[in-house]
Amino acid sequence: MIERVRVSNINQINKIVNAASSLNSDVGIHDANGQIADAKSLLGLLRLDYSRPVEVVSENARALRACVRACMA
């Protein structure tokens, strides 16, 4: 499952990491340049390009929703 979100500040990135870290499922973040980072890795997420929306990807719908909601909060 994939959901596109716009990330505009470091607080949103921290919220994604916190949400993903509390889950047992894998969640990935894909930027428009094709770079992929584990949503549980702050350093991995910091290297992505957020000038365009990113894709939150997970095979678990609950994990996907939790990370998207964290980003929007």
Q: What is the pLDDT of residues 1-50, one digit of tens each?
A: 999 999 999 999 999 999 999 999 999 999 999 999 999 999 999 999 99
Mean of the pLDDT values across residues 47-68? 96
Instruction: Indicate the number of domains in the chain.
Output: 1
The domain in which residue 35 lies consists of 2-72
Does the pLDDT value for residue 73 go beyond 90? Answer: no
pLDDT at 63: 94
7 and 56 Cβ atoms separated by less than 8 Å: no
Strand blocks (E) in 1-73: 2-5, 28-30, 36-38, 54-57
For residue 67, count CB atoms less than 10 angstroms from its CB and return exposed for 0-12, middle for 13-18, buried for 19 or more.
buried
pLDDT band at 59 (very low <50, low <70, confident <90, very high): very high
Domain containing 67 — which CATH number?
Answer: 3.30.1340.10
